Structure 1
Amino acid sequence: MSRGLSIDVFAETNPAFCSLAIRSFLQGYIESANIGAEFPTLFIVLPIAASEAQTPSFEATNKTTGLFTWLQRSPFVTLDLARRIDRTARFTRAAIHFGLQQRLIKIESGLFLPLDEGLLKKAPSSDAVGDVMKRSHRLGFWTGEIKSAPTVFNALGITI
């Protein structure tokens, strides 16, 4: 990542980085759900977990916090979320495409699953990049506990 380039801009313009964030989300999701994630849930990763503006909402949380408790503590996460999802959708689609090509993720029975045999077995763990991967994994774990895209989006204040 070049100096002066925020993690948000880097995330939104780099399909490899975004793919790793999505794979981390899927790793967390499958860890709690024991099944793959539905397609729509992948679109929350970039505007939430890869955004520096959302970093404070993840402070003092862990895997056991849960989506509903997290949203209750940090309701600002939902502010303008539909627009942020719409703004990052093309980058999410590019990341999914890249992830499938590079064998970072796969689709099985219509659900998305992480793979550990592709481009990188483990995501980079430098400061900002590692933090995005941790937040993505945590968000995936919380989302996987719910196992329902409509319920997740409803909790986020979005109708799908």
Structure 2
Amino acid sequence: MMTESIEPVSLDTFAETNAAFCALILAVYVSAYTNTAKRPMSITLLPLALPLVMSGGLEHSFSHLTEDSTLTRWLSRTPQVLFGLAARVQAGLETTRESLQFALHHHVLEMDDHALMHYVYSADADKQLRKLGFARISSNAQKLGAWIGALASDAVAYNLLGLEV
């Protein structure tokens, strides 16, 4: 009998596809956006979060910037963000969809009749991610949400990222 070797799957791969984990990331991102913009986030901005925040290659690019920085500043310091971003966003749509479904079902996020996202989680998603050992990911989600929340519109975010809505 022939046995095939089984490739080990990293914990990162499990985390990246875990709807509950990703729902917490989306919650931190939406919360930071809302706190900065003083308005709810459009659902059209959700697909940007996971590919940017969970990219191992970009993880440290956030570290020298604060929530008070800007998306433009981050992009000027990290132009590689733009390379292949459309493909990464497209590849992450299924995970984002499943994570959003989880977040909606478990009352982490709510979506109103205008497809605007509201953070409604009774616990603190940021604290939960930090407690699980994902402080950097939580911090990066906060920064990205704040930077996008500081922009005039969704279209500006997509234009800066070289994407089409």
Fold-level similarity (TM above 0.5): yes
SS in 1 for 2:58: helix
SS in 2 for 1:131: helix
Post-superposition CA distance 1:30-78 (Å, at most 9, x none): 1100111111211011110112111121121001111111111111111
Post-superposition CA distance 1:101-148 (Å, at most 9, x none): 000001134210111226968422157522111111110000011142
What does residue range 7-22 of structure 1 map to in structure 2 within 5 Å? 7=12, 9-22=13-26
The answer to whether the Cα contact below 8 Å between 1:11 and 1:46 also exists between their aligned partners in 2 is no
Number of aligned residue pairs: give it. Answer: 157
1:27 aligned residue: 31
- RMSD, aligned α-carbons: 2.1
Unpaired runs of 5+ in structure 2? 1-7
SS in 2 for 1:106: strand
1:110 aligned residue: 115
1:156 aligned residue: 161
1:101 and 1:118 map into 2 onto residues whose CA distance is 15
Unpaired runs of 5+ in structure 1? none
Post-superposition CA distance 1:71-97 (Å, at most 9, x none): 111111111000000111000000000
SS in 2 for 1:113: strand
1:133 aligned residue: 138
SS in 2 for 1:123: helix
Task: Give identity over the alignment, percent.
Answer: 25
What does residue range 48-59 of structure 1 map to in structure 2 within 5 Å? 48-59=52-63
Please give the TM-score of this superposition, normalised by the length of structure 2: 0.87
What does residue range 80-91 of structure 1 map to in structure 2 within 5 Å? 80-91=84-95
The answer to whether the Cα contact below 8 Å between 1:29 and 1:143 also exists between their aligned partners in 2 is yes
Please give the TM-score of this superposition, normalised by the length of structure 1: 0.89
Runs of 4+ in 1 over 2 A off after TM superposition: 118-124
2:137 and 2:125 map into 1 onto residues whose CA distance is 16
